[in-house]
Amino acid sequence: MLNFDQYQALTFDCYGTLIDWENGMLSALKPILNSHEIQLEDEQILEYFAEFESTEEQIYQSYREVLQGVVQRFWRSLPLSAYASRAGCLAELNSALATFL
C-alpha cells in the first residue's frame, strides 16, 4: 500500500482519465456528420480530430480557438463543402465541440 504521507501533491490528466473524451466527441460529431451524409467510422473521426487538433495547437491560442480551427479543418477536409447550402453544419460542429470546454 502507498504511504500517502510522503507526497505533497498528486496530479493526473483528466481527459481520458476522468472524462471519456473520445466517446463524448463521437456522440457530438457523428450525428452532425451523418445528418450531412458524411459517413465515417469512429476511428476515422478520431484520426481527423487528432490531426487537426495537433496542427491547431502549433500556435498559442485558447483551447476554444483550437476547437474552432478543428471545425474549420473538418469543413475544408471532408466533403462538407458539397453541402455548403447547409452552412449550419459548421456552427453545429463548433457547438458540439465547444461543449467539451
Give first-to-last CA distance, the chain, whole Å.
Answer: 36
Output the CA–CA distances (angstroms, integers) from residue 92 to 58, 95, 97, in the order listed. 25, 5, 9
42 in active site: no
Choice among 5, 13, 20, 42 that is catalytic: 13
Indicate the helix (H) or strand (E) that contains 59: none
Catalytic positions, written as ranges: 13
